[in-house]
Amino acid sequence: MLRIIDLSILIQTNMPNFSVLPKVKINKIRSIEKEGDEVRTIFMPSHVGTHIDAPSHQVAGGARIDELPIEKFLGNAIILNYPNKNNCDNTLISLKELERYKNKINENDIIVINTGSYKNPGSFDKFGYISQEAAKFFVDKKISLLAVDSPSVDLNVPEGKKMPVHQIILGAGIPIIEGLTNLDKIKEERFFFIGLPINIKDSDAVPCRAIAIEGLTI
């Protein structure tokens, strides 16, 4: 039997996000009572909630959202569980901690990392993230996509400085999904993952609806 788990954060006006980015604003501009139909405008930064980072977010000349093959965003996935990495300072996932998954990760896998950070959705300065060595390990494994529950795979990089983990992953042409939620609802280690980007021209990132499907293998 298939079990579908929604891994996406609800997008709403004034939702928490990085302080350097403008707030989400969703406004009703037509109503059934007045105009006969209901319509909204949606204003949001490209990085908000559960979203995909394209290589062009950090790498000059890197692929943009609309240039990435759709195949990258769905496929067989494995969850790596580090649920106690949330809401702490400097709690990176090291290469040593990845050791136990070393032989379980296949080429083209989608990697989902549970750091427990999704339990603190308003925390944008304390969350689990990964080390540069761990990032290189994923590149060497030729994964298809890296998806995490943290708002970023890098922690507290000062404005104007390059983000080293983003650089390694995106530099290898691997997109990143940040801001997954509900990861405790995933019961199987392997499952089918779908997190499709809305196709926006030239975009460096875009919110997505990410789901896990248990009981489906292809």
Q: Which residues bind Zn ion (CB under 5 A)?
A: 47, 53, 178
- Pick between residue 53 and residue 149 the one whose CB is nearest to Zn ion: 53
Encoded tokens for 90: 């400097």
What minimum distance in Å lies between the beta carbon of 82 and Zn ion? 20
- Pick between residue 149 and residue 178 the one whose CB is nearest to Zn ion: 178
Phi–psi pair at 150, nearest 5 degrees: -75, 160
- Pick between residue 52 and residue 212 the one whose CB is nearest to Zn ion: 52
What minimum distance in Å lies between the beta carbon of 180 and Zn ion? 12
Whether 64 and 57 have beta carbons less than 8 Å apart is answered as no
C-alpha torsion angle, residues 112, 118, 119, 123 (rounded to 10): 140
What minimum distance in Å lies between the beta carbon of 161 and Zn ion? 16
What minimum distance in Å lies between the beta carbon of 205 and Zn ion? 5
Whether 151 and 18 have beta carbons less than 8 Å apart is answered as yes
Residue 66, SS3? helix
- Nearest one of 101, 103, 95, 96 to 81, comparing CA atoms: 101
- Pick between residue 191 and residue 210 the one whose CB is nearest to Zn ion: 210
